Amino acid sequence: MEKQAWWKESVVYQIYPKSFCDGNGDGIGDIKGIISKLDYLAWLGVDVVWISPMYPSPGYDNGYDISDYESIAPCYGSMEEFETLLKEAHARDVKVVIDLVVNHSSNEHPWFLNALEGREASKREYYIWRDAAPGGGPPNNWGALFGGPAWTRDEKSGQYYLNLFSSRQPDLNWENPALREQIYKMMRRWLDRGVDGFRMDVISLIAKGDDFSDGPAGKSGYHDPRARIAANPKVHEYLKEMKEAVWADRDVMTVGEASATTLENAVLFSNADGSELDMVFQFEHMDLDGGETFKWNDKAIPPAGLKAVMTKWQKGLYKRGWNALFWDNHDQPRMLSRLGDEGDLRETSAKMLAACLLMLQGTPFIFQGDELGMSNMRFTSPDQLRDSESINAYERYTGEKMFTKEQMLHYISLKSRDTARIPMQWNGEAGAGFTSGKPWMDVHPNHVYVNAKEQAGRVDSVLLFYKELIRIRHRHLAAVYGRYEPFETENEDVFAYFRVWEDETLYVCCNFTATAVAFPVPKRLRAAHARCLLGNVERSAYLEKGRLEAYEALILRLNVTDIEEAPRG
């Protein structure tokens, strides 16, 4: 049986602070704004919030380029306000997890400024340096995720530093014990302040290994080294060391962002003996619509592929590790826009996606706005973009005439990180209730009808459906610990599964298509007295007729004594 833990039974809500709630009218979300929404989050039933970075940063990567790990950026507030936030959250039984971004720092971090002073500088070895290739130029053909080479030349020494994301995010050298020590001490200081854990940015990439050879180049002309780096076993040593140094004596929650990792590595990261992290985000399902030009295409995620990937991770981590479940985050387009419907079936499809995710095994993460059925921003001009990844890609692909401007804006509206980073839709007024000033990113025009205020008072809203789903997770341990058993795996349209646990079995079935479909009712269900816990259509014809309506989702609870006498199937 699965070992029980509070962080397995929790539902997490991700706050992207810049776009969550602006407390002082300067157009940027802040701590004061977050505090003002704690009642909302507690009402919704979330147990933990993860807040994306609020540290001082030049903002090249929206805070994922940190220039001071120990403070709060003035645009978000002060350390005193942050401490108030912790106190107020804890008073409502909501835990607070912060973002730990230690694969790289900002190029404006004092450590890096020191490192630039020369080969003998005291912090030089906090970063990763190589000489130029024999004929000149970067040491190898690796590319940076946000465009260009993964190496930047330092004029003074003539050496190159490694930057897997951008030249403004130099990678930290985890082989250096002094660097590791500094990071562990910094983490302990945050725990001493009262934070309840860490979401660890690209933690799978911190140990670079020794293999700095060229690799096969993609269409970008560069090699993407992430899978190779993530395969280096050294990362597990660092995480064990980190745990011992930082939280072995504390009850915290840790979730690793495991980009480019394999299932076997994820098992190690989140291993059941607890020697590394509690859980990991994997991205295999997010990459199902990728292609030659990275994410810039109009390919869609095939529902059958999604089901297969989720099944692989559900089964693969069962009793061996623990999943962190998500459809959306600040790096991904909204799943509603990817696989649901933005028109008449918006609410039905948003509820279906929510039910499908929140009933799986693992700790669910809700990204701000998911609970309202927020959808992708449709950009009409490059001036609306804020993310360097989108801006660089727009310039590069239109510059090289690979895509027209219209095409590129279309792809950016489908896939970019900007699509989901727009302001939270609190109400239908100008500024969407997010700000009284001019928002740092345009608000979605649909905020006039997709917003929290309207939904809070409507019983059939997406928001109340989420609240109910969270309640089900809290009340039915089968939803947390139950064994995942997929049903009718070959079906292309419907994602259906059982969660089997002690004296309780749940059955979840979700129609991923915009039309009604026939779907068999499992024998187990016919025999048992199935009770409907939640559904998203007014009158379900499933149990009687074996028909699921467009985007229908149903969660049924089976009476176990009935099942035992029933034939398997």
Q: To the nearest whole angstrom, how small is the minimum distance from the Cβ of residue 295 to ligand TEU?
A: 6
Query: How many angstroms separate the CA atoms of 257 and 269, rounded?
Result: 10
- Among ligand TEU, Ca ion, none, the one that 24 touches (CB under a kind-dependent 5 to 8 A) is Ca ion
**Dihedral angle computed from the Cα positions of residues 28, 34, 37 and 43, in that order, rounded to the nearest 10 degrees:** 140
- Among ligand TEU, Ca ion, none, the one that 347 touches (CB under a kind-dependent 5 to 8 A) is none
Nearer to ligand TEU by C-beta: 197 or 482?
197
Residues paired with 211 in a beta bridge: none
Q: To the nearest whole angstrom, how small is the minimum distance from the Cβ of residue 76 to Ca ion?
A: 8
Among 11, 15, 28, 94, interactor with Ca ion by CB under 5 A: 28
Helix (H, G, I), strand (E, B) or coil at 40: helix
* Binding interface with ligand TEU (CB under 6 A): 61, 64, 101, 145, 165, 201-202, 257, 259, 330-331, 389, 417
Contact call for residues 139 and 132 (beta carbons, < 8 A): yes
Nearer to Ca ion by C-beta: 85 or 286?
85
Q: To the nearest whole angstrom, how small is the minimum distance from the Cβ of residue 426 to Ca ion?
A: 14
Q: How far are the Cα atoms of 65, 427, 502, 504 from residue 556, in angstroms, in the given order?
A: 45, 33, 16, 11
Please give the DSSP secondary-structure letter assigned to residue 52.
-
Contact between 26 and Ca ion by CB under 5 A: the answer reads yes
Q: To the nearest whole angstrom, how small is the minimum distance from the Cβ of residue 141 to ligand TEU?
A: 19
Nearer to Ca ion by C-beta: 77 or 340?
77
Contact between 30 and Ca ion by CB under 5 A: the answer reads yes
Helix (H, G, I), strand (E, B) or coil at 366: strand
- Among Ca ion, ligand TEU, none, the one that 61 touches (CB under a kind-dependent 5 to 8 A) is ligand TEU
Q: To the nearest whole angstrom, how small is the minimum distance from the Cβ of residue 330 to ligand TEU?
A: 6
- Among ligand TEU, Ca ion, none, the one that 28 touches (CB under a kind-dependent 5 to 8 A) is Ca ion
Size of the site for Ca ion (CB under 5 A): 5
Quick check: is 99 catalytic? no
Q: Interaction with Ca ion in 3-22: which residues (CB under 5 A)?
A: 22
Contact call for residues 93 and 38 (beta carbons, < 8 A): no
Closest-CB residue for ligand TEU?
64
- Among ligand TEU, Ca ion, none, the one that 435 touches (CB under a kind-dependent 5 to 8 A) is none
Nearer to ligand TEU by C-beta: 326 or 512?
326
Q: To the nearest whole angstrom, how small is the minimum distance from the Cβ of residue 33 to Ca ion?
A: 7
Query: How many angstroms separate the CA atoms of 297 and 391, rounded?
Result: 16
Catalytic residue among 47, 201, 289, 468: 201
Catalytic residue among 257, 278, 370, 371: 257
Nearer to Ca ion by C-beta: 33 or 143?
33
Contact between 331 and Ca ion by CB under 5 A: the answer reads no
Among 2, 5, 24, 504, interactor with Ca ion by CB under 5 A: 24
Q: To the nearest whole angstrom, how small is the minimum distance from the Cβ of residue 264 to ligand TEU?
A: 20
Helix orientation angle between 177-193 and 234-246, rounded to the nearest 10 degrees: 40
Helix orientation angle between 346-358 and 462-475, rounded to the nearest 10 degrees: 20
- Among ligand TEU, Ca ion, none, the one that 468 touches (CB under a kind-dependent 5 to 8 A) is none
| Structural element, H or E, at residue 42 | helix 38-44
Nearer to ligand TEU by C-beta: 206 or 533?
206
Residues 6+ apart with CB under 8 A from 188: 245, 246
Q: To the nearest whole angstrom, how small is the minimum distance from the Cβ of residue 32 to Ca ion?
A: 7
Nearer to Ca ion by C-beta: 26 or 429?
26
Nearer to ligand TEU by C-beta: 165 or 322?
165
DSSP 308-364: HHHHHHHHHHTTT--BEE-S--TTS--HHHHHS-SSTTHHHHHHHHHHHHHTSSSEE
**CA gyration radius for the chain?**
24
Q: To the nearest whole angstrom, how small is the minimum distance from the Cβ of residue 332 to ligand TEU?
A: 8
Q: Interaction with Ca ion in 350-409: which residues (CB under 5 A)?
A: none
Nearer to Ca ion by C-beta: 24 or 311?
24
- Among Ca ion, ligand TEU, none, the one that 328 touches (CB under a kind-dependent 5 to 8 A) is none
Residues 6+ apart with CB under 8 A from 3: 272
- Among Ca ion, ligand TEU, none, the one that 165 touches (CB under a kind-dependent 5 to 8 A) is ligand TEU
Closest-CB residue for Ca ion?
30
Query: How many angstroms separate the CA atoms of 36 and 84, rounded?
Result: 11
Residue linked to tokens 């990792």: 261
Quick check: is 493 catalytic? no
| Structural element, H or E, at residue 87 | helix 79-91
Contact call for residues 259 and 226 (beta carbons, < 8 A): yes
- Among Ca ion, ligand TEU, none, the one that 202 touches (CB under a kind-dependent 5 to 8 A) is ligand TEU
Query: How many angstroms separate the CA atoms of 494 and 355, rounded?
Result: 13
Query: How many angstroms separate the CA atoms of 171 and 391, rounded?
Result: 22
Query: How many angstroms separate the CA atoms of 292 and 218, rounded?
Result: 7
Which residues are designated catalytic? 201, 257
Which residues of this chain interact with Ca ion, rule CB under 5 A?
22, 24, 26, 28, 30
